Amino acid sequence: ALSLSGNARDTIQVLEEQSNQYLNRDLNVLTSNASSLSYSNTVNILGLKPNTRYSFKVKSINNQGVATNWSTTTSAYTFAQVPAMVKIERISNEIAKLFINNLENPSNTDIAIRESNTNKYLDFTKNILVSTPVWGKFSDFGGVNGIEVRELELGKQYGFAVQAKNSASVETALSESLYIGASAILKNVDSMLKATLVEKTDVDLTNPDNGQYGEKEVRILEGEYLVADIPVLFAKDRDWADVVLATSPREKKTVIKLNENHGVLKPFTMYVVGEDTNVFVLCPGATKLADIGPTCEGGVKYTGPFPQKINVEGNDVYVSITVIGGVKYWVADGLTGTGGMGYYEEAKETEEKKETGVVLQVFDDIKGTIDEIEKPQLQTITVATGAVSVAVGTTAALGGLSQFAYSIGQFFLSIFSALGYRRKRIHYGFVYDSQTKEPLSLAVVRIMDMENKLVGTEVTNMNGRITGNLEPGEYTIMVSKRGYKFPSENIKGSEDYPISNVYTGKLVVSSSDSNIQIAIPMDPVEMSKMDRAIVACRSILSKFALLLNFVIFVGGILLVVYMYQKYPEKENLLIALVYILPLYTLIASLFDKNGKYGKVILKKNRKPVDGIPVYIKEREFNKIVAKRVTNEKGMYRFIVDKGRYEISIDSNKYKLLNSIEDLVVDVKKDNYMITKKLRIKEV
């Protein structure tokens, strides 16, 4: 991948200097034909040879077709390809022969062979295992004829893997190991427990017929309950007679103690039945279930939000909550031996208080700004915003505290920013529905530093955007919204085409004025009957509030007119002017498009179709800029800035029937909502 810096509105050409080939924009490979592509900070190039030096240069072309000079040349070696261990042949009790495949690596590529159980390396000059890496060419290791390894012990297990490094000394991962010698099992495992492979839970690892080679992920169960997932090195039979491994689903406790003699060299994962608990405690010194409790010596308490990371005895231990097989578990990952339990602690914050917390956070923010404003200026702002309180007071009283806090708070803060009393708020990204890709408004975003200390609470706007004023550093994020859960289980990586830079557990702010467009997915969940009732009541009250607000506003205007006719004084005329802002707010609410959506319907029965991916492409650069997936009502919408766009769908089952003229939209202003009715038919 090439990292570029330039103007996002330009097109570019990328040239590989040694082969005199251009990067093809459609195939992302080098070809002899000159080709231009849209600018991107990162350009991926496919089809390159491993461990080969390439030299690239780039030039930009603006929208008038004027090109810059070529940039300076940047050269680099591609990574080597991971070789393959093909087979192992036993020659005698002490000698085996190894065969490797160098695949597409050039002949000058260095390789090394490692024995997996002892972490020793094959010295091709002596044909024995040594403690330090010995790098050589494919031919040094016998080429296609293979190479012997000597001085092996009879009855001992050996596993061999191969790796390579390129001419810049960047090493590949190890290949999959091949084994010879005796397989191994677990011995003297507690009869109450079952030891299986994680990926094959029907394989009993205490049965000699199921002997294993190398490192395997072992799952421990007691009856139907999970106890632990443990990486075990099966270099030899492992005696677990003195292992501490016990669980009590009734007491919601688990204790585990293992060491290298048991084949455990890496951190493992512990499961503890959670049921109705809300707090988790680790007891590092526990050696039996009785040692575990909320006040255990040296205990480390996890109170959330989950997943939560705390350093325990030099290791980062993550604790999360999950449901497996209908059972709620506490999952402690990164352990090296400890006990833990879940228990219930009276919640410090209920759902109703959570909304109030948003209100207090917003008004504390406002208060800090107001304290800096002198009296005459504050009087001016108070008079200018008084009418807003009249216009939205009834709506705020009936529509929910969070909406009231957000609307009024953002209005005040925008005035303070315009007057220079508040630092400009920076965009850090947006929150969206992982299924429909729709931005989520009024999601509560809590931002914490790496010590898990809350540094800010934000509420997303109608575009799902998050703004704030963070100092440079690393942060983690927790998001909550009724009807959704976080973190997303649908989106696993950092890409959700065409959405990039998806949040994967860390927000990095490089400077106090940097705009970071991080995308935060949330998974929709089925709401409880109570939540659905609350949403329905809010919808009804919102409509009633709009009507009542209109009546109050008209009554106020009539009262001002009557008062001016009776007492024709300038002061009363000025009071009438104050209602200009409430009038604008009222008109905007009457013609609000927030509830407007486009629909995808089937031509033959005019029924909506769900699950249809709808894309919007910027015509000037021929680039997909957003994606939506229709919900169960076939609805979608896009909110875009100025530009020329084209709507399309991606489906093998349906064909779009709208004319191209109907699908192309010229947008003249920012934050414009596109809600076309799309007609489709089955292919």
Q: How far apart are CA 522 and CA 524, in angstroms?
A: 7
Contact 332, 280 (CB under 8 A): yes
Contact status, residue 638 vs residue 597, Cβ threshold 8 Å: no
pLDDT at position 275 over 60: yes
Residue 421 lies in a domain: yes
Q: Most confidently modeled of 119-123, 480-484, 547-551, 555-559?
A: 119-123
The reported pLDDT for the residue numbered 70 is 92
Domain annotation covers residue 172: yes
Q: Does the pLDDT of residue 622 top 90, yes or no? A: no
Question: Does residue 64 or residue 162 have the better pLDDT?
Answer: 162
The Cα–Cα gap between 667 and 62 comes to: 22
Q: Residue 333 above 70 pLDDT?
A: yes
Q: Are residues 118 and 245 in the same domain?
A: no
Residue 132 sits in the same domain as residue 228:
no
Backbone angles phi, psi at 60, to 5 degrees: -105, 150
Is 496 in the same domain as 363?
yes
Name the one residue in this structure whose structure tokens are 């000597």. Answer: 150
Q: Are residues 404 and 496 in the same domain?
A: yes
611 pLDDT higher than 80 = yes
Residue 454 has pLDDT above 70, yes or no: yes
Residue 418, domain member (yes or no): yes
Here the tokens at position 148 are 């012997």
pLDDT surpassing 60 at residue 229:
yes
Does the residue 531 lie in any domain? no
Q: Where are the beta strands (DSSP E) in 78-142?
A: 84-90, 96-101, 110-115, 120-123, 128-130
Among the ranges given (44-48, 138-142, 154-158, 466-470), the one the predictor scored with the smallest mean pLDDT? 466-470
DSSP assignment of 259-270: -GGGT--S-EEE
> At 1, which helix (H) or strand (E)?
none
Shared domain for 332 and 363, answered yes or no, is no
Tell if the pTM clears 0.75, that is, is over it: no
Average pLDDT over residues 62-79: 89
Q: What is the pLDDT of residue 84?
A: 95
Q: What percent of the chain has pLDDT over 90?
A: 38
Q: Is residue 646 part of a domain?
A: yes
| pLDDT score at 586 | 61
Residues 339 and 231 in one domain: yes
Instruction: Specify the pLDDT at position 459.
Output: 83
Question: Given 296, 324, 343, which residue is the final one in a domain?
Answer: 343
Is pLDDT of 390 > 70? no
- Does the structure show a pLDDT above 60 at 373? no
Q: Provide the number of structural domains found in the chain.
A: 5
Considering the chain, what is the average pLDDT of its residues?
Answer: 81
Helices 401-418 and 351-370, interaxial angle, to 10°?
20
Helix (H) or strand (E) holding 301, with range, is strand 300-302
Flag whether pLDDT at 409 surpasses 80.
no
List Cα–Cα distances, 149 to 136, 174, 176, 178, 408, in angstroms.
15, 18, 18, 14, 76
Checking if the pLDDT of 6 tops 70, the result is no
Q: For the chain, give percent helix, strand, coil, nearest 5.
A: 20, 35, 40
Measured CA to CA, the distance from residue 544 to residue 414 in angstroms comes to 28
Residues 169 and 136 in one domain: yes
User: Are 107 and 239 in the same domain?
Assistant: no
Residue 278's contacts (CB-CB under 8 Å, 6 or more residues apart) are: 304, 342, 344, 345, 347
Residues 6 or more apart whose Cβ sits within 8 Å of residue 670? 641, 642
Among 291-295, 483-487, 504-508, the least confident range: 504-508
Q: How far apart are CA 296 and CA 289, in angstroms?
A: 11
Query: Are residues 423 and 336 located together in one domain of the fold?
Result: no
Whether pLDDT at 353 is above 60: no
- Distance between CA 591 and CA 580 in Å, rounded? 17
* pLDDT given at position 340: 78
Measured distance CA(450)–CA(654) in Å, rounded: 48
* Inside any domain, residue 538: no
Flag whether pLDDT at 594 surpasses 70: no
pLDDT-derived band at 329, boundaries 50, 70, 90: very high
| H or E element, residue 389 | helix 375-399
pLDDT band at 348 (very low <50, low <70, confident <90, very high): low
What CATH number did the domain enclosing 93 receive? 2.60.40.10
pLDDT at 216 > cutoff 70: yes
pLDDT at residue 533 greater than cutoff 90:
no
Query: Are 153 and 206 within one domain?
Result: no
Last residue of a domain, one of 313, 343, 373: 343
Identify whether residues 438 and 517 lie together within a single domain.
Answer: yes
Q: What percent of the chain has pLDDT over 70?
A: 78
Residue 566's pLDDT is what? 57
91 & 69 share domain: no
Domain boundary among the residues 524, 551, 572 is at: 524
Question: Quick one: average pLDDT of 614-642?
Answer: 86
pLDDT at residue 116 greater than cutoff 50:
yes
Q: What is the spatial distance between Cα 145 and Cα 97, in angstroms, rounded to a whole number?
A: 9
Q: Is residue 419's pLDDT more than 60? A: no
Q: How confident is the model at residue 673 (pLDDT cuts 50, 70, 90)?
A: confident
Q: Is residue 363 part of a domain?
A: yes
- Look at residue 564 and tell me if it is in a domain: no
- How much is the pLDDT for 347? 54
Residue 377: its pLDDT value, please?
39
- 3-state secondary structure (DSSP) of residue 505: coil
Report whether pLDDT(359) > 50.
no
Domain that holds residue 61: 2-77
Q: What is the pLDDT of residue 546?
A: 64
